[in-house]
Amino acid sequence: MLLKFIITKISFLPIFAPMEHSKIIIAIDGHSSTGKSSFAKQVAARLGYVYVDTGAMYRAVTYFAYTNGFIDNKGKINEEGLMKTLPANRIGFKLGPDGKSATWLNNACVEKQIRTLDISNKVSKISALPFVREYVDRILRRFGEDKGVVMDGRDIGTSVFPNAELKIFMTAAVEVRAQRRFKEIQDAGGKESFDDVLKNLKERDHIDQTRAVSPLRKADDAVLLDNSNMSIPEQFVWLDRILLERFGLQMK
Ligand code: DC
């Protein structure tokens, strides 16, 4: 009788219930054109998490500044004008005309406009402005309130979510990155030369790493992913192991 009682009690202990995994924040930082966005997007989809492209937010701010005359022909920024007008704008993500997730600035889908080399050349200076970073950070922290988010950028693990459960720092040789970016531009019908793409990448690396506010650097507790010689499936094998070993998480 006593044995039956014990067995009944034990079988109802919570350890026998299926394990519920709590959601985590995955911060993916690293150099430009390391494939962070595509990787982060797929990781989010396979975990059923929300994906946030933080570079797109800085690009949208740059697009706003440029199209509203806050950046002149020589690249000089009217900081005062931008600081006054920026907070009234809404930047976010929803479906674009092609049915894919896209970046919106107020009521306009700006996904295509923010990816041009012209905006790429201007975005580093805009993203180095402290008031721009504060504006974007506020929006990003709201996305992270419920966890279950994969965010890629430059300072997510070091500044936006220093307590993120998993931090990944992605890098690759600059020539490899330039080649990948060049191919993307060509596939999209762009005309920039390989040398221009390489120059732009080097300049952006330099500005991102040396700026005073939230410079790009690997967080001490971030895991390094150098994908110079790695295929996309290999990167997933690498991540699968970390997610399973550290968090008991399995991607679909
Ligand atoms: O990832 P991307 O190339 O779309 O980013 C565009 C620019 O935005 C990049 O030059 C650096 C900046 N950026 C940033 O400063 N902090 C982030 N968290 C994300 C991007």
Per-residue pLDDT of 166-199, as tens digits, reads: 999 999 999 999 999 999 889 989 888 999 999 9
Which atom of ligand 1 is closest in space to residue 56's alpha carbon?
4
Q: How far is the CA of 250 from the centre of ligand 1 (A)?
A: 29
Q: How far is the CA of 156 from the centre of ligand 1 (A)?
A: 11
Give φ, ψ of 251 to 5 degrees: -80, 150
The H-or-E segment that residue 44 falls in is: helix 36-47
The pLDDT, as a whole number, for residue 188 is: 87
Spell out, as residue ranges, where the chain has pLDDT lower than 50: 10-18
User: Which class does domain 24-55+117-245 fall in?
Assistant: alpha beta
Atom 4 of ligand 1, residue of closest alpha carbon: 55
Which atom of ligand 1 is closest in space to residue 140's alpha carbon?
18
* Best of 54, 119, 171 for a ligand 1 pocket test (most atoms within 8 Å of beta carbon): 54
d(CA 62, CA 72): 12
Which among 52, 46, 53, 50 is positioned nearest to 244, based on CA atoms? 46
In sequence order, which residues have a C-beta less than 8 Å from that of residue 126 and are 6 or more positions away? 58, 61, 62, 65, 71, 77, 132
Return the axis-axis angle of helices 174-187 and 194-210, rounded to nearest 10°. 120
Query: Angle CA(142)–CA(147)–CA(150) in degrees, nearest 5?
Result: 90
